[in-house]
Amino acid sequence: MNITILDANTFGRASLTGFKALGTVNVFANTTADQIVDRAREAQVIVTNKVVLNHAILAQLPDLKLICVAATGTNNIDLVAAKSLGIAVCNVAGYSTPSVVQHTFTLLGNLMTNMHAYIADCNNGLWQQSDMFCRLDHTIQEINNKTLLIIGHGALGQAVAQVATAFGAHVLVAERKGASTVRSGRIAFEEGLRRADIITLHCPLNDETRDLIDHTEFKLMKPSALLINTARGGVVNETALKEALENNTIAGAGVDVLSKEPAQPDNPLLSYSGHNLLLTPHTAWASQESIERLLNEIVENIQAFFGQHARNRIV
């Protein structure tokens, strides 16, 4: 078979050997919209992470039988068009859960221990100037006995809950915002925000969750609260977050995702210079092991499709 990988750079340095065992593989580091048709004209299989495949493009690829999305979300694929053209679509779910959970607590741990500030102090020679064996310039807190609110209780949220419980946190699970009833084992959205010492987001981005955390929600939070977002950038209004940090409405935030990526110069969080914001470049998912799981799953998706077995099929 003929396989075209459109944005291999999103796999880092991982080996693509598994694909090469399936047939001819055309690998491109990145692909722009006007390059797709020429590069994939003879492809039976396209592998894409973020490259957008719309109806106009898919209609020009008569040999295409399968699109493998190298991610869980499929918003970059016109699924209606794919179905109408007889093109199957597969995704991969769950591959990054351990990596995202680890990153969530890395951000949280750094915020609670002020690790980044202490490392900077050491690099700047302040420990050498200390009049005692240590330095205690920055507050250090424990996760133990803190109330941690999880927004989004799928596989990721549940895995975060397990680790939080191991740390000794009191875990709350938020009901959907605006819900008329509260399910058993959950807490009303607004009440959860009021009670939480830590809020961590693990929900998808859709019409219901866009700007889920905005000015109103920040005003409900404790001044000592910490917010962690390893979900999607658009779930948090970034202007509102910057103002909340500047005005000490909340104590801090750890953010791995932005509303537009790669980061844009005019993003309000990039101009914020306070010590209480940790920003990472959408790397929560990207452990070496996570990427290897992702690639192995895609290879299995391709093998299953051509073996006439349904596996991770979206269309």
Q: Where do we find the tokens 């969750």?
A: 209
Which residue in 170, 195, 210, 282 is the catalytic one? 282
Give catalytic status of residue 261 as yes or no. Answer: yes
Can you tell me the distance from the alpha carbon of 100 to that of 286, in angstroms, rounded to the nearest whole number? 8
Q: Which of 142, 261, 275, 309 is flagged as catalytic?
A: 261
From CA 176, how far away is CA 204, in angstroms rounded? 12
Is 297 part of the annotated catalytic residue set?
no
The owner of tokens 């801090």 is: 252
Residue 13 known to be catalytic: no
* Catalytically annotated residue among 217, 232, 293, 297: 232
**C-alpha distances out from residue 48 to 2, 76, 295, Å:** 14, 9, 11
Catalytic residue numbers read 232, 261, 282
